[in-house]
Amino acid sequence: MLTDTEKRIEKRCDELLGSAVELTRDLVQGYSVLGNEQGTLDTMERWLGELDLPVERVPLDAPGLDENPRHAPVAWPAKGRYNVMSRLNPGANGPHLVLNGHLDVVPAEPVEMWTRAPWEPWEQDGWLYGRGVGDMKAGIAAMVMAVRAVREAGVAIDFPLSIQTVIEEECSGNGALACVHQGHGGDFVLVPEPFGAQIYTGQIGVLWFKLSVQGVPAHVLDTTAGSNAIEYLQQYIPGLKHLEDELNAVRRPAPYDAVGHPFNLNIGRIQGGNWASSVPAYAELEGRIGFPVGMSPEEIMQRVRQAVTERHVELSGGGAQPPMVEFHGFRSEGHLVDLESPGVRLLERCHEDLTGTSAPHYLSTCTTDLRAFQIAGGVPGTCYGPVAQRIHGVDECVEIASIRQVMATYALFISRWAEAV
């Protein structure tokens, strides 16, 4: 049951839904793909300032971060890159609550497939559309406005609370890791990823990899004089698919033994050659593969290398030059959420008191920034966010009513946090 004060908080959330949508739209207008996050970071700083929330930057090139065992090597410099954070009561007593969301988005191209330009948000039939609107700028708006609702309802926030808006969630996880590495891990973290109003119970491991091969260039008047790198590289995909089949074999570790095909391979990018009438001299592909909880990044990297080697022997008997195998970006372990942690139990009670129903559970076949807190920092947490459709796809959208649901649940959680844990 809600107290009179809590009903006042809920009412304020209703009144702030328009502001949450406005913040979401402003964030979507910044097309914050990798390397282009600055406009959205500026927008976030401006909104926090206007809401009378302190603003600070958390650098991704902090001393020692690149030596952290959970740091993901990347192909771009960290210098000058940062997250935006707001800390309330950093020196106060009490458990430290963290609200964390990512500002970066995946590319929307080809934009011609979209109904409208993906960085120009639009509304239709109760849904808000645009790249990153679900994954996860609406969630960020909900968690920020939840803090505002609590304060404007006259409830004091006198415990340590951090609002973290980070980058590189979609490629490395180094943004959230930068927060944990610099002492901002807290005691519990809520991440409003767009999986709906349900308790996130676990996530798999994820590895990014790249295969590169060289061919022999030649004029197409005699293609046998050359060696086609693109065609050669494509022959290695069945070997990677075989590894995927092995990972998804019958004896999968629980609880993923109840999921039909949890560990997915994706060939996400391929390029090669430089001229239509020349036999291509090079080709490369980049991919992602999921792996089970309990398997280390080092083990899955070895499994990828082994799959490529075995396929190489099948194709050439080991005579030709094998592909070069490299790893950058995600090399993230999977983990299961501690459903008995005080924060998760509190979230379940807040959901039930607002909806009258028990919160459903969701077991994920992807990864989130929870890994930085749970695995690198030993900090428990979970995801609970809006309802979204077609994330990473064309015409991504978020249900506007679900933004309000998340905002109200987070606001109730914040108001109860200090006394409930």
Please report, in tens digits, the pLDDT of each residue of the chain (421 residues total): 899 999 999 999 999 999 999 999 999 999 999 999 999 999 999 999 999 999 999 999 999 999 999 999 999 999 999 999 999 999 999 999 999 999 999 999 999 999 999 999 999 999 999 999 999 999 999 999 999 999 999 999 999 999 999 999 999 999 999 999 999 999 999 999 999 999 999 999 999 999 999 999 999 999 999 999 999 999 999 999 999 999 999 789 999 999 999 999 999 999 999 999 999 999 999 999 999 999 999 999 999 999 999 999 999 876 678 899 999 999 999 999 999 999 999 999 999 999 999 999 999 999 999 999 999 999 999 999 999 999 999 999 999 999 999 999 999 999 999 888 7
Q: How would you label 321-346 residue by residue, b for 16+ Cβ within 10 Å and e otherwise?
A: ebbebebbbbbbbbbebeeebebbeb
24 Cβ partners below 8 Å, 6+ apart? Answer: 121, 128, 133, 137, 138, 140, 141, 398, 403
- Supply the Cα-derived Rg of the chain in whole angstroms: 23
**DSSP notation for 25-52:** HHHHTS---TT--HHHHHHHHHHHHHTT
- Residue 44 has a pLDDT of 98
- Residue 248 has a pLDDT of 97
Cα(212)–Cα(237) distance, integer angstroms: 12
Structural domains present in the chain: 4-203+334-420 (3.40.630.10), 205-331 (3.30.70.360)
- Residue 421 has a pLDDT of 76
pTM for the structure as a whole:
0.96
